[in-house]
Amino acid sequence: MAIYINESQHIFHMQSRVTSYVIQIIDGYPLLVYWGQRLSEKGNLEKLVPGLEKTELGSMPHEYPQYGTGDFRSPAYQVQLEDGSRITELRYKGYATKAGKPALEGLPYVYTETDHEADTLELELEDAYAGLTVLLKYCIFRDGAITRSVQFKNNGQRTIKLLRALSANVDLYGKSHYELLYLAGHWAREAHLQRRPLGPGGTSLGSRRGMSSHQHNPFAAVVSPEADEDHGEVFAVNLVYSGNFHAEAEVDAFGVVRLSIGVNPFDFGWMLPPGESFQTPEAVLVYSNEGIGGMSRIYHRLYRNRLCRGVHRDKERPILVNNWEATYFNFTAEKIEAIAEAGSQLGIELLVLDDGWFGKRDSDNCSLGDWVEDRRKLPNGLRDLAERIQRHGLQFGLWFEPEMISPDSDLYRKHPDWCLHVEGRRRTEARWQLVLDLSRPEVRDYLYDALAEIFTNISVSYVKWDMNRALTEIGSATALPENQQEIAHRYVLGLYELLNKLTTAFPEILFESCSSGGGRFDPGMLYYMPQTWTSDNTDAVERLKIQYGTSLAYPVSTIGAHVSAVPNHQIHRDTSLKFRGDVAMSGNFGYELDLTKFTDAEKIQVKEQVAMYKEHRSLIQQGDLFRLRSPFQGNETSWMFVSDNRCEAIVFYFRVLAKPNPASDMLQLKGLDHSYTYEVSGESGHMGSFGGDRLMQAGLIIPQLTGDYNSVWFRLSVIQ
């Protein structure tokens, strides 16, 4: 990668292995004149957009557009001055470049470990009248991703109020016939793939729930009409943020597509006194001319290696059992130990004690905030239980929901003002709980001390960090009236500060994020917690869509997936243990049921699943994912994982419903080396030796399957 600058033509050319991003300064405005397949640094980059010098301000391809001076499309930012006016005009002032990538203070970000991995460009813009300076920050990575963020600084004498501060804006010429790809859903059906044609006007995605949400993921892509997994153009944006976000694709009258993403401007306001700065979250942009799969693999490698951090980033993740669906709130230490003992005989490595171990928590209507062990259920305490589980050879994990407070709790009785609320207004409860005000340092300090006390005195290897409701009555008892519109964002900043402090103090703990499942599956959380509970819905058929959709932007190493009991507790469907296991093995594998209730035959099957996953865990968690068939397009789903050197692969194929008298079918594989010969084996043994070209171009015969909810897998290894 490199950044080439033509001073005389005011052109900045950011170039990676796969893409070029070209900015030109015209009349003081930074304009996007090209983003796409890699261009030569030696080529003439003038006039990439026809007639640009004569184009009206309102149809120029702006990098960071404003409103009120002739551009009537959605702006990237808006500020209000003390005189009440909202008119600003940022003009180019200068630039700086540097090797590597600076940190973002107080925010998660994609990082580098050496300076040669990426290059950074900063464009300085200024509105001299307002005393406002804006830095547009770009970083281009060797493998193709581009990060963007923006820093506002008030160099004037009067306070400025930010009303809108998005992280990235790209204006794409000639793409009005393209389509918008995004992820949408609800609790228990997260990350469903959506695709619709663009057209005049705008399509808006986002969240006003205080979290990135089950409803929309902070990801969007503009794709060519013919784009599939392997072909076509993709222009994608993903926001490294865990709160209210806004993404939009707007097509103007001239066919220019404006794609933007950032903090949601709804109910957002930020007071910027003289001398102070505001930093937006980071957006990650990916271009692919190798289809949606090519885009995914760029995101996957970047997030797996340079967003996730800490000692667990490169480690194989443990196979766990969670007691929630086995016992819910009704458990004893003896029952938990019995599950652990059964798990040790099956090869499971970690037991997670879920909700109900603290306060007087016999149901979900009390005790959140009282992070003290319940001696009624655990007479000898958590330490004793942890030691008993560890004696069976399993690690010990705990569930927490630290961001919440129950009105029926000692903490609430002592500090009723610690929740988000507006004085004199009703406090909306969901699940009999309120949300703690993490914008307040004393609240964060309490949570840190309460959790650190447990982590210091008990050997906890894993924490499931849950967050089970959206934010309402977003106000703070200690904030001034003019700062109340900052609270939603300050909540997220406070959460990040708390997570950074905890993960730094206890680096050996593997943290998993959860928000009633996938309600906060976003890059911001992955910076602190390298895996996320993908959905509370553990039904294997539904998980095909949920895991497939999630994999568009997020690597398999971040996707939590468990085998649960049948009939399934969410939708009451019966599926085979094999089918459930094969689906869950396509993620961070575990079980969420009562292991003590397995029959002897089921124990044998689970032992085989656990052994098989351990054998291929590194390949599944760290290999390249290739999606072969989509659950959104039919009755079948298939994906495969390929090692970096293309010497190993594992393929999963799922069929939901049986078909009468089905035709024989071939499954075309991907990601192999055309010149290699692979030995292929399945569950029934050796299937033959085949060239990589044959497996990808002609395919592999899918065995005849009988009955509903069936699956099969294949191993591939190179013949030396």
Residue of 71, 171, 536, 539 marked catalytic:
536
* Token reading at 281: 């979250």
Q: Rounded CA gap, 260 and 202, in Å?
A: 11
Catalytic residue list contains 536: yes
Structural contact between residues 705 and 712, judged by C-beta atoms closer than 8 angstroms: yes
Tokens 């799922």 correspond to: 654
Name the strand (E) or helix (H) holding 562. strand 559-564
Q: Rounded CA gap, 383 and 189, in Å?
A: 37
Buried b (16+ CB within 10 A) or exposed e, 604-636: ebbeebbebbeebbebbbbbbbbbbbbbeeeeb
Residue of 119, 354, 466, 582 marked catalytic:
466
Helices (H), 479-623: 487-505, 523-526, 540-550, 577-584, 600-622
Around 660, how many Cα atoms within 13 Å sit in the side-chain half-sphere?
0
Catalytic residue list contains 644: no
* Token reading at 265: 């401007």
Q: Rounded CA gap, 503 and 529, in Å?
A: 8
Largest CA distance in the chain: 79
Structural contact between residues 220 and 259, judged by C-beta atoms closer than 8 angstroms: yes
* Contacts for 542 with CB less than 8 Å, ≥ 6 apart: 188, 189, 535, 570, 571
* Contacts for 426 with CB less than 8 Å, ≥ 6 apart: 473
Q: Rounded CA gap, 614 and 535, in Å?
A: 23
Secondary structure in 3-state letters for 658-710 = CCCCCCCCEECCCCCCCCCEEEEEECCEEEEEEEHHHHHHCCEECCCCCCCCE
Q: Is the sign of the CA dihedral 538, 539, 541, 546 positive or negative?
A: negative
Nearest to 543 by CA among 524, 526, 518: 518
Q: Helices 540-550 & 577-584, crossing angle to 10 degrees?
A: 10
Structural contact between residues 119 and 139, judged by C-beta atoms closer than 8 angstroms: yes
DSSP designation for 319: P
CA distances (Å), origin 42, targets 13, 26, 35, 547: 11, 21, 17, 43
Nearest to 316 by CA among 588, 59, 549, 629: 588
CA distances (Å), origin 466, targets 10, 252, 469, 536: 49, 42, 10, 11
* Token reading at 61: 């391809």
Q: Which residues are catalytic?
A: 466, 536
